[in-house]
Amino acid sequence: MNNFTHISDIEDLQVAVKEAIDLKQDELKFKSLGKGKTICLLFFNNSLRTRLSTQKAAQNLGLNVIVMNFGSEGWQLEFEDGVVMNQDKSEHVKEAAKVIAQYCNIIAIRSFAGLTNKEEDKAEQVINSFKKYAGIPVVNMESAIGHPLQALADAITMEEFKTKHKPKVVLSWAPHPKALPHAVANSFIEMMQLKEAEFVITHPVGYELDSEITKNSKIEYNQEKAFEKADFVYVKNWSSFKNYGKVDNIDASWMITSEKMKLTNNAKFMHCLPVRRNVIVADEVIDSKNSIVIQQANNRTYAAQIVLKKILE
């Protein structure tokens, strides 16, 4: 594998999921694979799980890790071609990417959506510029429109907890006071489209995600109907895609409650975290034995580790 910027960069998702589960039995098995090599983790945004799990995964593979908060520790980057750089930005990504590539063997990047300009976000300027200029493998730690490491961890988690060959999986929108990106939902959908499952997306009318991503995935606007007989309920807020980046709806009736979970087939509750309790999900649900959010977070290490392993090999 050369880059991991999209879930489709993994040749065979099902095989990778199995390898990741095997890896959990002996996470230091490939300790010598990264010896003498370095990964740079570049954060343009805050992070908890991604920051820690990717470091852990890299250390498990024997990689040296250099973490950099690009916004506060480096220089403001210009991404446009041909600009006269006489304003605030003091370095062009052409130089930054090529230079960083001199000091490491893999670059991992987190750069969230701006949520103000749909076309800019869809262009994935930051991660694509690094891919274009770095000349070394680039890993997506959440870009403007995708979070494939999360989706891979989700796939691992569902594989571990599923009780039937073809489970029913519901991706449900839930309300949130602030505008959130579409990245997690997008990558979850793209991952689900590769799996054998009955997959349903549910959200209020007007909260449709990018149809280029949802494609033929089933959309059910009635949340309760969507929950019927579900084996997994995956919850996530996103801001409007149509009215780009806006919070049009904070309808509290979309929060996940135990009442709603009763409609399911004893479904497991999933969320990528961080999660706002009693806004996205009631305490009673996230604190229930059916909540697997912690196991899901734990799998972030093994998702990152299998990706880095494939890149190193």
Answer whether 244's CB lies under 8 Å from 115's CB: yes
* Of residues 226-245, those binding a copy of itself (CB under 8 A): none
User: Residues 82, 119, 165, 205: which binds a copy of itself (CB under 8 A)?
Assistant: 82
Q: Applying CB under 8 A, which part among 12-20, 187-195, 202-210, 290-298 lies near a copy of itself?
A: 290-298
**Binder of a copy of itself out of 15, 29, 48, 246 (CB under 8 A):** 48
Of residues 4, 6, 16, 49, which one binds a copy of itself by CB under 8 A? 49
d(CA 240, CA 252): 16
Q: Which tokens go with 188?
A: 């979850």
DSSP state of 67: E
Q: Is 51 annotated as a binding residue?
A: no
**Phi, psi (degrees; rounded to nearest 5) at 305:** -65, -40
* Binding residue (CB under 8 A) for a copy of itself from 23, 100, 230, 311: 100
**Is residue 55 near a copy of itself by the rule CB under 8 A?**
yes
Residues forming a β-bridge with 140:
109
Cα–Cα distance measured from residue 191 to residue 165, given in angstroms and rounded to the nearest whole number: 16
Q: Which is nearer to a copy of itself, 40 or 192 (CB)?
A: 40
13 binds a copy of itself (CB under 8 A): no
- In degrees and rounded to multiples of 5, residue 112 shows phi and psi of -70, 165
150 is in an annotated binding site: yes
Q: Determine the interface stretch with a copy of itself among 116-124, 148-156, 240-248, 297-305 (rule: CB under 8 A).
A: 297-305
Taking CB under 8 A as the rule, does residue 248 contact a copy of itself?
no
Smallest distance, a copy of itself to C-beta of residue 131, A: 17
Closest by CA to 262, choosing from 234, 290, 294, 296, is: 290
Would you say 31 or 310 has its CB closer to a copy of itself?
31
Asked if 212 is part of the footprint of a copy of itself (rule: CB under 8 A), the reply reads no
Is 24 a binding residue for a copy of itself by CB under 8 A? The answer is no
Query: Does 25 participate in binding a copy of itself (rule CB under 8 A)?
Result: no
Taking the complex as a whole, the smallest distance from the CB of residue 55 to a copy of itself amounts, in Å, to 5
Site for a copy of itself in 102-161 (CB under 8 A): 102-104
**What are the structure tokens assigned to 290, written together?**
């059916």
With the C-alpha atoms ordered 244, 245, 247, 252, is the resulting torsion angle positive or negative?
positive
Give the interface segment with a copy of itself, choosing from 64-72, 138-146, 212-220, 256-264 (CB under 8 A): 64-72
Whether the bond between 175 and the residue before it is cis, its omega within 30 degrees of 0, is no
Residue 107 dihedral angles phi and psi, to the nearest 5°: -115, 130
Question: According to the binding rule CB under 8 A, does residue 5 interact with a copy of itself?
Answer: no
Please tell me whether 142 is known to bind a ligand. Answer: yes
Element (H or E) spanning 299, and its range?
A: helix 293-312
Please state, in angstroms and rounded to a whole number, the distance separating the CA atoms of residues 50 and 274. Answer: 11
Sequence ranges of the binding site for carbamoyl phosphate: 47-50, 75, 110, 147-150, 272-273, 300
Q: In the complex, which residues of this chain contact a copy of itself (CB under 8 A)?
A: 28, 31, 36, 38, 40, 43, 46-49, 51-53, 55-56, 59, 64, 66, 68-69, 72-75, 78, 81-87, 89-92, 94-96, 98-100, 102-104, 177, 273-279, 283, 286-287, 293-294, 297-298, 301
Sequence ranges of the binding site: 47-50, 75, 110, 142, 147-150, 176, 236, 272-273, 276, 300
